[in-house]
């Protein structure tokens, strides 16, 4: 598949809808198509900016002074009707049968519409990626039974600074349900004989598409491990030859908007991602989309400088003076000083539960030119720090 | 805040307060959508009023199993708006005051880009505009948009794609002089 053929599917993937496996493979491996995804995200953001602007200019509309009267047909048709007993029984039987059949069909339909988004990584790895079709920053997959993309997929992961060696394997997603995912996996540690893994990867990539049959040969003798996985949990999978793989997935009926490039498909539960955030305060657009930051850790925080208001600090954990904010995918809403804040970004802001509570704090005394903070954002209004308490301490100085 | 079920029950029971609450909750979003769909602010407001009245009259029409109350409301609005779509002048772009903290050059560039995009939106077919709005602002899925606009799923996909392609051209190349 080429870019022209894949173009309509970029749109569908961006919207979190099903796309054929071949298109997904192409898009994940094609820089031009990934760039298109980013452009769609930017356009979407701009349309939301327009919506805010229009809402701001909307003149009040009052409710109608009087409401129309309703018809009284139910009273005229409400009289008793004589029905033969056998017809009544037959009618009830037909209704019951149809209800059961419809319920079954609906259940089947819903179970087929479920998507699985999952990440597979090595602990503390800085770089993970399949050898083909492309080296995504993180190995993230999407499976949907109704899009016929279940089934085995080869993977090849590289450890941090090439020190952990390589891990090759095949992941076979077999069934996706709302409360469980059945899959089988083979994973093997590969001895690279002292060669640079990066060079090996480049060599393999240059050799052309990676064939799953080649990998099956490499993995012959490696036990196939079967798992019944509970969505949302983290699963550790032993690797033949040493080491552990970390698997995390989520099941949903619709994919969220996502970025295929800089950030993971879905933020980790301990991660905050602000990708091109824009801010609306009381229906006024305060910040246009811009900047990007990702941070994780138990005390980590992200922050944005809001001209005229101060520094907005966001953390996954409660801290002194912080207020609750509700995050749902790429939107966050909260109230500070009786003002309503609406923050929206190109990609989901926080992983894990939905909606999720995060904590926000507005440091009104913060002025970039006067604070003297070492992490003072000069050209960007977003940033991050590993310890929110240190940030607050510096702000109080 | 009352949820959909409480509001709907109130409307079924003929409670004026429930109607007012529903109006307050959804009228702004509905009017913004209708402005894009009809391309005419005055018509949009008329259609929005008529939509709420229609909902009041047809108080047996909503089925929670088929979607949310808001989705149902948007569906009625789309049908009502079909009569008003033609004959309206294209809307003027209403842009917000530029946010503080950006340099004059950045502000002008951002304003130009938004204006270009708004102009490109106005030039799209009504259904394309409506689809983009429902998707990007209201966050509806393809299936939900198909239900609201009363068009097949394939039409949703193709029109959304062509709308995005048109906007992307403007986004990447700027407005054609």
| CATH code, B59 | 1.10.1740.10
Domain-terminating residue out of B49, B81, B113: B81
**Partners of residue B22 in chain A, C-beta under 8 Å:** none
Asked if residue B169 and residue B115 are part of one domain, the reply reads yes
Partner residue facing A51 (CB), from B23, B32, B59 = B32
How many other CB atoms are found less than 10 A from the CB of residue A132?
20
| Residue B97 domain flag | no
Structure-block tokens of residue A314: 């966001």
- CB pair distance less than 8 Å for A64 and B101: no
In chain A, % of residues over pLDDT 90? 8
Instruction: Give the count of alpha carbons within 13 A of B41, CB side only.
Output: 12
Confidence of residue A150 (pLDDT cuts 50, 70, 90): low
Give the list of residues 6+ apart from residue A139 with CB closer than 8 angstroms, or none: A119, A120, A121, A128, A129, A130, A155, A157
Asked if residue B72 and residue B9 are part of one domain, the reply reads yes
Query: Would you say residue A185 has pLDDT above 90?
Result: yes
Mean pLDDT of A277-285: 81
Q: Which long-range contacts (CB under 8 A, 24 or more apart) does A243-247 make?
A: A243/A122, A243/A164, A243/A165, A243/A167, A243/A189, A244/A122, A244/A123, A245/A120, A245/A121, A245/A122, A245/A157, A245/A167, A245/A169, A245/A185, A245/A187, A246/A119, A246/A120, A246/A121, A246/A122, A246/A123, A247/A118, A247/A119, A247/A120, A247/A185
pLDDT of residue A128: 35
B140-161, pLDDT tens digit by residue? 888 889 988 888 888 898 899 8
B58 touches chain A (CB under 8 A): no
B132 touches chain A (CB under 8 A): yes
Question: A181-190 and A166-176: which strand pairing?
Answer: antiparallel
- For the ranges A21-35, A130-144, A258-272, B44-58, the lowest mean pLDDT is seen at A130-144
Confidence of residue A325 (pLDDT cuts 50, 70, 90): very high
- CB pair distance less than 8 Å for A8 and B136: no
pLDDT of residue A203: 59
pLDDT of residue A211: 58
**Partners of residue A12 in chain B, C-beta under 8 Å:** 142, 157, 161
Q: Of B152, B137, A266, A330, which is closest to residue B129 (Cα–Cα)?
A: B137
Q: Of A393, A375, A356, which is closest to residue A302 (Cα–Cα)?
A: A375
A210-233, pLDDT tens digit by residue? 556 667 887 888 999 999 999 888
**Partners of residue B132 in chain A, C-beta under 8 Å:** 47
How far apart (Å, rounded) are the C-alpha atoms in residues A301 and B165?
37
Asked if residue B115 and residue B63 are part of one domain, the reply reads no
Q: Which of A88-92, A146-150, A254-258, A264-268 has the highest mean pLDDT?
A: A88-92
- CB pair distance less than 8 Å for A43 and B97: no
pLDDT of residue A286: 80
pLDDT of residue B43: 85
Contact (CB, 8 A) for A155 and A201: no
Mean pLDDT of A233-238: 91
Name the more confident of A327 and A160.
Answer: A327
pLDDT of residue A262: 45
pLDDT of residue A258: 36
pLDDT of residue A395: 76
The total number of structural domains that make up chain B: 2
Name the more confident of A68 and A369.
Answer: A68
Query: Would you say residue A346 has pLDDT above 70?
Result: yes
pLDDT of residue B105: 52
Exposed, middle or buried, A179 (CB in 10 Å: 0-12/13-18/19+)? Answer: exposed
Strand, helix or coil for residue B82: coil
Confidence of residue A237 (pLDDT cuts 50, 70, 90): very high
How far apart (Å, rounded) are the C-alpha atoms in residues A397 and A375?
14
| Residue B144 domain flag | yes
Name the more confident of A134 and A119.
Answer: A119
- CB pair distance less than 8 Å for B135 and A15: yes
Confidence of residue A323 (pLDDT cuts 50, 70, 90): very high
Mean pLDDT of A270-280: 84
A288 touches chain B (CB under 8 A): yes
Range of the domain at B139: 104-173
How many other CB atoms are found less than 10 A from the CB of residue A71?
11
Exposed, middle or buried, A97 (CB in 10 Å: 0-12/13-18/19+)? Answer: exposed
**Nearest chain A Cα distance for residue B88, angstroms:** 18
- Suggest the residue from B136, B155, B167 to mutate for an interface test with chain A (most A CBs closer than 10 A): B136
Query: Would you say residue A385 has pLDDT above 50?
Result: yes
pLDDT of residue B175: 47
**Nearest chain A Cα distance for residue B104, angstroms:** 14
pLDDT of residue A9: 85
Q: Which residue has the tokens 């003002």?
A: A339
Q: Which residue has the tokens 């904590």?
A: A359
Q: Which of residues 1-30 of B touch A (CB under 8 A)?
A: 14, 16, 19-20, 23-24, 27-28
| Residue B54 domain flag | yes
**Nearest chain B Cα distance for residue A157, angstroms:** 34
A308-322, pLDDT tens digit by residue? 788 899 999 998 889
This prediction's pTM: 0.54
Query: Would you say residue A336 has pLDDT above 50?
Result: yes
How far apart (Å, rounded) are the C-alpha atoms in residues B41 and B31?
8
Partner residue facing A61 (CB), from B48, B96, B165 = B48
Name the more confident of A358 and A393.
Answer: A358
Name the more confident of A112 and B34.
Answer: B34
Asked if residue B68 and residue B123 are part of one domain, the reply reads no
A9-36, pLDDT tens digit by residue? 888 888 877 778 888 888 877 888 888 8
- Closest-CA residue of B relative to A287 is B99
Asked if residue B124 and residue B71 are part of one domain, the reply reads no
- Closest-CA residue of A relative to B12 is A70
**Nearest chain A Cα distance for residue B3, angstroms:** 17
Q: What is the ipTM of this complex?
A: 0.83
User: Mind listing the pLDDT tens digit of every residue in chain B (177 residues)?
Assistant: 567 788 888 888 888 888 888 888 888 889 999 988 888 888 888 889 889 888 888 877 788 777 888 888 899 998 888 776 555 555 454 444 444 444 455 555 666 777 778 888 888 888 888 899 998 888 888 888 998 888 888 889 889 988 988 888 877 776 444
Q: Of B17, B20, B131, which is closest to residue B74 (Cα–Cα)?
A: B131
How far apart (Å, rounded) are the C-alpha atoms in residues B52 and B54?
5
Q: Which of A204-213, A342-351, B140-149 has the highest mean pLDDT?
A: B140-149
- Closest-CA residue of B relative to A310 is B101
**Nearest chain B Cα distance for residue A86, angstroms:** 30
**Partners of residue A43 in chain B, C-beta under 8 Å:** 117, 136, 164, 167-168, 171
B35 touches chain A (CB under 8 A): yes
């Amino acid at each position: 598949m080429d870019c022209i053929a894949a173009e309509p599917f970029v749109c569908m993937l961006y919207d979190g809808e099903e796309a054929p496996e071949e298109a997904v493979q192409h898009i994940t491996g094609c820089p031009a198509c990934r760039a298109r995804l980013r452009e769609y995200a930017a356009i979407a953001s701009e349309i939301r900016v327009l919506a805010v602007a229009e809402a701001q200019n909307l003149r009040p509309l009052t409710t109608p002074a009087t409401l129309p009267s309703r018809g009284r047909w139910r009273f005229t048709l409400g009289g008793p009707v004589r029905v033969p007993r056998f017809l009544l029984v037959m009618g009830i039987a037909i209704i019951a049968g149809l209800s059961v059949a419809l319920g079954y069909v609906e259940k089947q339909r819903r179970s087929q519409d479920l998507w699985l988004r999952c990440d597979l990584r090595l602990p503390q790895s800085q770089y993970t990626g399949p050898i083909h079709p492309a080296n995504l920053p993180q190995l993230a997959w999407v499976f949907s039974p109704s899009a016929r993309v279940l089934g085995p997929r080869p993977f090849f992961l590289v450890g941090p600074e090439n020190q952990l060696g390589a891990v090759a394997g095949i992941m076979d997603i077999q069934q996706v349900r709302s409360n469980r995912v059945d899959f089988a996996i083979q994973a093997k540690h590969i001895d690279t004989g002292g060669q640079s893994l990066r060079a090996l990867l480049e060599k393999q990539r240059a050799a052309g598409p990676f064939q799953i049959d080649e990998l099956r040969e490499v993995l012959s003798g490696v036990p196939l491990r079967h798992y019944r996985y509970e969505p949302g949990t983290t699963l550790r999978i032993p690797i033949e030859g040493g080491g552990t793989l970390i698997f995390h997935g989520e099941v949903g009926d619709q994919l969220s908007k996502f970025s295929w490039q800089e950030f993971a498909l879905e933020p980790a539960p301990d991660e905050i991602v602000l990708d091109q955030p824009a801010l609306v305060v009381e229906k006024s657009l305060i910040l246009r989309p811009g900047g990007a930051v990702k941070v994780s850790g138990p005390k980590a925080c992200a922050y944005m400088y809001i001209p005229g208001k101060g520094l907005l600090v966001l953390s996954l954990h409660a801290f002194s003076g912080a207020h609750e904010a509700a995050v749902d995918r790429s939107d966050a809403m909260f109230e500070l000083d009786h003002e309503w804040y609406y923050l929206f970004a190109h990609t989901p802001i926080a992983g894990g539960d939905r909606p999720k509570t995060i904590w926000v704090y507005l440091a009104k005394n913060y002025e970039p030119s006067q604070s003297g903070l070492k992490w003072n954002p000069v050209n960007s209004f977003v940033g991050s720090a590993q310890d929110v308490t240190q940030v607050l301490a510096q702000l109080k100085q | 805040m009352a949820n959909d079920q409480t509001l709907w029950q109130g409307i079924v029971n003929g409670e004026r307060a429930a109607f007012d609450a529903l109006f307050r909750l959804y009228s702004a979003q509905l009017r913004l959508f209708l402005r894009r769909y009809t391309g005419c602010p005055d018509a949009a407001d008329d259609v929005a009023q008529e939509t709420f009245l229609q909902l009041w009259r047809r108080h047996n029409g909503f089925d929670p199993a088929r979607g949310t109350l808001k989705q149902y409301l948007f569906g009625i609005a789309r049908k009502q708006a079909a009569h008003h779509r033609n004959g309206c002048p294209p809307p003027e772009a209403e842009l917000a005051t530029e946010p503080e903290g950006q340099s004059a050059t950045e502000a002008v560039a951002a304003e130009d880009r938004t204006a270009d995009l708004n102009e490109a939106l106005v030039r799209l077919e009504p259904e394309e505009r409506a689809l983009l709005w429902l998707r990007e602002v209201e966050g509806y899925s393809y299936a939900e948009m198909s239900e609201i606009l009363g068009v097949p799923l394939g039409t949703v996909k193709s029109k959304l794609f062509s709308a995005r392609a048109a906007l992307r051209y403007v986004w990447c190349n700027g407005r054609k002089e």
